[in-house]
Amino acid sequence: MISTRKTILFSILTAAVIGILIIVANNWRNKTFVNKITIKGNLTLSESEILTAAGLAADSLINLDELNLAFIRDRIAKHPEIKRVVVSKEPPSELIIEVSEKKPIAVLVKNTELNLIDDDREVFSIRNFEKVFDLPVINGLDESRKDYKSDLDIAVNFIKSAYAKGKYIQNQISEINMSDSTRLTVFSNDRPTVFYFPKISRESESAEIYSAKLGVFKKFIDDEIIKKNLNCEYVDLRFSNQIIAKLN
């Protein structure tokens, strides 16, 4: 009798275990797991850097239905070099991460520390020093001065105008020093020379004026410094229809 009861109990337990396993197996089979993570838009950041920022691994076993896209997006957005990020699901089993990186236009010396700045005035830390070699340096700013923001805007507008004029002029600009309230001091790369430009605070005017001044800047470097081998202490381009150059 006892033996029969044990047999019945064992049979019931076995059936229950099998039933649970069948349910678990069916649930497992019905779940959709990510088998592909696609990253788009990254130019200088590696895929592994973005996955690390997201807290994911390329071979992670992730249930697509339970994935918190907003959580992943917010984690990636904290990366100092990410400007925007969109995270989406692509049926049946793909996770897509599309990023827009911040594009630095200059190295900003801020409180003796080196940072990067983009054309929207966003300042962020330098993580990869290979990115700063070809960028001009903005120096001579003091956050305690009331004209700090205005001077920063002037420097950024000047650099944007230089970039718009092409690679040659962009590569000629080594440093922009903003410490003098009356002028913008630019150090050139080729045959290093000091150039003085006006400080144009009104953005609506700065693009046109700086574009014209940078054209003169290029012509003076080509015609006077390179071709004639002039050695100048400084070249003042602040005035209309006039260039003042002091020779060494």
Following DSSP, what letter does each residue of the chain receive, concatenated?
-HHHHHHHHHHHHHHHHHHHHHHHHHHHHHS-B--EEEEES-SSS-HHHHHHHHT--TT---BGGG--HHHHHHHHHTSTTEEEEEEEEETTTEEEEEEEE--EEEEEEETTEEEEEETT--EEE-S-GGGGTTS-EEE---TTSTTHHHHHHHHHHHHHHHHHT-HHHHHHEEEEE---TT-EEEEESSS--EEEE-----HHHHHHHHHHHHHHHHHHIIIIIISS---EEEEE--STT--EEEE-
**58 — phi, psi (to 5°)?**
-60, -30
| Span 164-182, pLDDT tens digits | 999 999 999 999 999 999 9
Distance of CA 28 to the CA centre of its chain: 41
87 touches 104 (CB < 8 A): no
Check residue 91 and give its pLDDT: 80
pLDDT at 150 over 50: yes
Portions of the chain given CATH number 3.40.50 = 104-247
Would the pLDDT of 228 be above 50? Answer: yes
Model confidence at 191, pLDDT cuts 50, 70, 90, reads confident
pLDDT score, position 30: 46
54-68, 105-119, 171-185: the lowest-pLDDT one: 54-68
Whether pLDDT at 138 is above 90: yes
Where along the chain do the CATH 3.10.20.310 domains lie?
A: 36-101
Angle, vertex CA 26, rays to CA 21 and CA 32, nearest 5? 130
- The pLDDT assigned to 32 comes to 66
Is 60 exceeded by the pLDDT of residue 58?
A: yes
pLDDT given for residue 69 in this prediction: 87
pLDDT value, residue 239: 94
Report the share of the chain in percent with pLDDT over 90.
59
pLDDT of residue 186: 98
More confident call, 148 vs 129: 148
Q: What is the mean pLDDT of residues 38-64?
A: 86
Give the mean pLDDT of 65-94.
89
Q: 191: which 2 tokens? A: 């045959």
pLDDT score, position 180: 94
What's the whole-number mean pLDDT along residues 127-153?
86
Calculate the average pLDDT of the chain: 86
Q: Residue 15 pLDDT more than 60? A: no
Residue 9: per-residue pLDDT: 62
Q: Is the pLDDT of residue 28 over 70?
A: no
Q: Does the pLDDT of residue 230 top 70, yes or no?
A: yes
| Average pLDDT over every residue of 45-55 | 91
The count of C-alpha atoms lying within 13 angstroms of the C-alpha of 45, restricted to the half-sphere facing its C-beta, is 26
Indicate the CATH number of 104-247 among 3.40.50, 2.60.40, 1.10.3470, 1.10.60.
3.40.50
Calculate what percentage of the chain has a pLDDT beyond 70. 83
DSSP 133-161: TTS-EEE---TTSTTHHHHHHHHHHHHHH
Q: What is the pLDDT of residue 1?
A: 52
CATH class, 36-101 region: alpha beta
